[in-house]
Amino acid sequence: MNAPKTKPLLQPNAQHHYQITTEDLPLACPMPEMYLWNSHPRVYLPIEQTGWAKCSYCGAEYHLPGISRDNPMPDVQMS
């Protein structure tokens, strides 16, 4: 039986600009598909209200298209 193919892990901090989708929320830097052994500790970044966030460790900038200060994501109520 063949093992399912997985995407290779990304090198963290190789780029400085990342475009994400709502599937990537909650946003953490480095992202789950990145190697962790040669990066900084994982930090969660608040991007839902403005559509933009910058990691204070590595300076990577993240953009969530369709979200802006004028059009924030609605708050999700947990029950």
Domain count, the chain: 1
Q: Map residue 42 onto helix, strand or coil.
A: coil
Distance CA 23, CA 33 (A): 13
53: in domain: yes
57: in domain: yes
Q: Which domain holds residue 31?
A: 17-72
Q: Calculate the alpha carbon distances from 72 to 3, 49, 61, 69, 77 in Å.
A: 41, 5, 18, 6, 15
Percent of the chain's residues with pLDDT above 90: 37
7: in domain: no
- pLDDT tens string 16-43: 889 999 999 999 998 887 877 678 899 9
12: in domain: no
What predicted TM-score, i.e. pTM, was given to this entire model? 0.68
